[in-house]
Structure 1
Amino acid sequence: MKAFEYVRAEDAAQAPGLLAEGGKYLAGGTNLLDLMKLQIEAPAQLVDLNRSGLAEITETEEGGLKIGALVRNTDLAAHPRVRQEYAVLSRAILAGASGQIRNRATTGGNLLQRTRCPYFYDTNLPCNKREPGTGCGALAGFSRPLAVIGTSEHCIANYPGDMAVALRVLDATIQTLKADGSRREIPIGDFHRLPGDTPHIDTVLESGELITSVTLPPPLGGQHIYLKARDRQSYAFALVSVAAVVTDSGARVAFGGVAPKPWRVESAEARWNEGAQAVTDAAFKDARPTAQNAFKLDLAQRLVQAVMNETQSAGTPEGGAA
């Protein structure tokens, strides 16, 4: 790990002013510190946010929830309203990482975690996301865990997280504080970028912009399900995951593990009553899988069918409390 300057922010408003060029914000550090040890990330400065507040969950005037960026994953998953009214979020969080990591990982940091593509993590291999212009080794190499849709000729890495997939199906909004002191709101669907020809830029955040909170709209009701297919039962990233909220008026479905961002196609949801194949055909109509990961399309269909089977079974509770 290379030497860096360490600074503590005493409140959120102070943080952007403390961040120097080439610096990074530090919250739980569960992803950033690993990347620093591997010298994939080498910030000249870390601004520690852990004394800056932002660790509360409060109710909004509209009946939703406002989640501070420093709320730990464990606390968010265990929050009574999240468990009762946003159960898909609680289930997605509990499907990720380990208990120890969830105790440290934060809401804001979870959104910013970087891909687990093996070419990104090995500094001896070419990776446009890690080092622009070096090429994408996965295109002609090992691609089994990587994206099947939303990719480009420059990158086929996938977004690895679980929490953001649930936030996508819930239509969450991200609040930020910019370096000039202004604030903005970013719909979760607009937050993560597709790679295009700049795969090293993961999100729409500007330099120095700080995530301060995530807001959930009023509860949808219905049945909340999160299913995750992975290579082992625990502490593994999704090959494919499905977050679903099914109500009397229809269904919302988002996929993880298949794209550079949580993948939701609203037009596919309109075909819910036509069956799982109709939903996944619409959601993945522009898919460009490799020979190694084409199985993810069939796996996605099977998971959607499993969701349909579960929601149609007798005795599934309204709201689907976690």
Structure 2
Amino acid sequence: DYSIQIFLRLSWHDSRLAFNASAIGSGGGCRGQKQKQQEHQQQQQPTVNESIGLTIDPRLIDEIWLPDIIFVNEKQAKYHDITIPNKLLRVKPNGDVYYSTRISLRLGCHMALYRFPLDTQVCEINMESYFPVFIDRFTKQELILQWRKSKPFEVNKDFHLPQFVLTSWNTSNCDIQYLSGEFPCLRVHFVLRRVFAVYLIQYYVPALSLSCCPGCPSGSALKPCQHGYRVMTVLSMTTQSMGLWMTLPKASYIKAIDIWMGVTVMYVFSAMLEFAMVNTMARNEIRRVTRRIRKAAAKRSMNGNAQEGDTQD
């Protein structure tokens, strides 16, 4: 899952909302003609800018028809109402409507973690049409969703992710065919590349240092302290691996970092086994040599005593 905050901006044409801008500026017939002429002489009446349109009070937006847009992969969402509802609706005299609102979303994203942490993920925002009153959707013949030709999707210049880098994004149409008809759909793809430097410093460098540090592979000098050192190395690698697996995303398959940590742990553990085997073999060899020396010394001592007895005789 990932969380995102967006400004959803929609534009459409609704002929039912067309109005006469000059009539609104002149009072729309609410007063008599003579009274309006007198007010024109006293002050200039406000006018509606036809290029911008008439801004509707946010409390009245629910009384106006809005496109039934839903986020298909949405798991949790909310509108923002502090300090006022973060909504804007403007209507032009010809019936063109512009609507904007701020939404916080928690969306699902299917990630493939086979190459983690060297992976690149593609997440989506899927928007479709849905009509909640009749529990039905508008078909493509009744409602058409299209991206704006210029800058259909914009990203905040200060946008930053702690673990990913947004490399690219693109928009597309994803019209879906159901049994009841073809329904309009819009989609945004995000290409996210994971930042490898964090995992290099926290996991790869320590694991490499523990597995390749001096004294880890068994050598010719067998000191008693080396065995304790190798045991501590194995315990350190095991603790690091367990801590890593607790923080990583759960997956039912093997990831790249699992192979790395498994190989380093097996290397350190095999080095400890090698040291134990060589140490055991060396001790056995020392015992055999000591036993041979003792036997040879005892034999020489017996031969010397026998020669002394013959000389005395």
TM-score normalised by length of structure 1: 0.19
Whose strand proportion is higher, 1 or 2? 2
Which gives a bigger RCO, structure 1 or 2 (Cα 8 Å, sep 6+)? 1
Whose helix proportion is higher, 1 or 2? 2
Which structure is larger by alpha-carbon Rg, 1 or 2?
A: 2
TM-score normalised by length of structure 2: 0.19
